[in-house]
A and B are shown apart, each in its own frame.
Chain A
Amino acid sequence: MKVSNANWAEKLAGKMPEHLAREIDIFETELTLRKQGKVDERVIAETRLRRGVYGQRYDNGQRHNGKAVQSVAYPSGSLTKGPNTMWDAPGMQRIKIPAGGLDAGQLETLADLAEEYSDGIAHVTTRQDFQLHYVHIEDTPSLMRRLAAAQITTREACGNSVRNVTACPYAGVCPDQAFDVTPYSKAMSKFLLGHPDCQNFGRKFKPSFSGCSQHACGLASMHDLGLIGVTRIEDGKEKRGFETYVGGGLGAVPYQAKLFDAFVPPEEILPLAQSIARVFAARGEKKNRSRARIKFLIQDLGIEKFRELVLEERKTLPHDPRWTEFVAEAETFEETPLRPAGKAPLLGTEAFQRWVKTNTRAQRQEGYVVVTITLPLGDITANQLRSLADIARRFTNETIRATVEQNIVLRWISQADLTEMHKALDAVGLADPGAGTIVDVVTCPGTDTCKLGISSSRGLSAELRKRLGEKSFQLDESVQGLHIKVSGCFNSCGQHHVADMGFYGVSRKMSGYAVPHFQVVLGGEWEQNGQSYGLPVIAVPSKNIPEVVSRLTGRYAASRRQGESFKDFIKRTGKVELKRMLEDLARPPADPSDRTYFSDWGDPREYGLLDMGVGECAGEVISPVEFDLMAAERELFEAQVAWEGGQVEQAGVTAYQSMLRAAKALVKIETQSVSDDPGQIVREFRARFYDTQKFFDPFAGGKFAQYLFTAQEKSSEPATQDSARYLIDEAQLFIDAAHSCYNRIATPVSA
Chain B
Amino acid sequence: MGNPVMQQQTELQHVNVKLILQNHADADLEPLIPVFHQWIQDQPPGELLLDIADYQHVPAGPGVVLIGHEGDYSVDNTDNRLGVRYNRKAPLDGSNEDRLKQAARAALTACRRLEEEPRLGGKLRFGGQEIEIFINDRLLAPNSDATREAADSEFRAFARKLFRGTDYSVTYESDPRKLFKVFLKSAQPFSVAALLESLG
Contact = CB atoms under 8 A, between A and B. Distances in A.
B79 A383 contact: yes
Contact of B60 (A116, A376, A428, A465): A428
Interface stretch (B51-59, B109-117, B157-165): B51-59
Main SS at interface, chain B: loop
Interface stretch (A1-9, A358-366, A712-720): A1-9
A131 to B, nearest CB: 13
12 contacts: A2-B91, A11-B139, A89-B50, A112-B138, A116-B136, A116-B137, A120-B55, A120-B76, A134-B72, A383-B78, A383-B79, A383-B178
A66 interface: yes
Contact of A121 (B40, B43, B62): B62
A472 to B, nearest CB: 15
Interface in A240-268: none
The range of chain A's interface size is 35 or more
Contacts of B138: 112, 116
Interface in B155-180: 175, 177-179
A1 B67 contact: no
A462 interface: yes
B60 A90 contact: no
Contacts of B41: 65-67, 70
Interface stretch (A72-80, A216-224, A585-593, A703-711): A72-80
Contacts of B136: 115-116
Contacts of A116: 14, 136-138
A136 B72 CA distance: 13
A603 B64 CA distance: 12
A90 B50 contact: yes
B33 A602 contact: yes
A51 B34 CA distance: 35
Contact of B37 (A4, A57, A428, A605): A605
Interface string A112-123: 100110011100
Interface in B24-49: 33-34, 37, 40-41, 43, 48
Nearest to B70: A75
A1 B91 contact: yes
The 5 residue pairs across chains A and B that have the minimum distance between CB atoms: A429-B59, A4-B139, A120-B62, A376-B57, A3-B13
B89 interface: yes
A379 interface: yes
A65 B67 contact: no
A604 B89 contact: no
Interface of B: 11, 13-14, 33-34, 37, 40-41, 43, 48, 50-51, 53-62, 65, 67, 69, 72, 76, 78-79, 89-91, 136-140, 175, 177-179
Contacts of A7: 139
Interface in A203-237: none
Contacts of B14: 2-3, 116
B17 to A, nearest CB: 15
B78 A120 contact: yes
Interface centre among A462, A465, A604 (most CB of B within 10 A): A604
A386 interface: yes
Contact of B53 (A3, A66, A134): A134
B164 to A, nearest CB: 31
B53 A119 contact: yes
Given A2-B14, A379-B61, A133 B53 contact: yes
Interface in A372-389: 376-377, 379-381, 383-384, 386
Interface in A318-351: none
Nearest to B80: A429
B37 A604 contact: yes
Given A1-B90, A67-B41, A604-B34, A73 B48 contact: yes
Contacts of A121: 53, 55, 58, 61-62
Contacts of B55: 119-121, 379
Contacts of B89: 1, 136
Contacts of A63: 40, 50-51
B178 A134 contact: no
A448 interface: yes
A459 B30 CA distance: 12
A108 B177 contact: yes
A690 interface: no
A72 B68 CA distance: 11
A750 to B, nearest CB: 13
Contacts of B137: 2-4, 116
Nearest to B92: A3
Interface in A44-71: 57-58, 63, 65-67, 70
Interface centre among B11, B33, B43, B62 (most CB of A within 10 A): B62
A88 interface: yes
A288 to B, nearest CB: 32
Contacts of B72: 119, 134
B96 to A, nearest CB: 12
B53 A465 contact: no
Interface string A420-451: 00000000110000000000000000001100
Contacts of B57: 376-377, 379, 462, 465-466
B78 A119 contact: no
B104 to A, nearest CB: 19
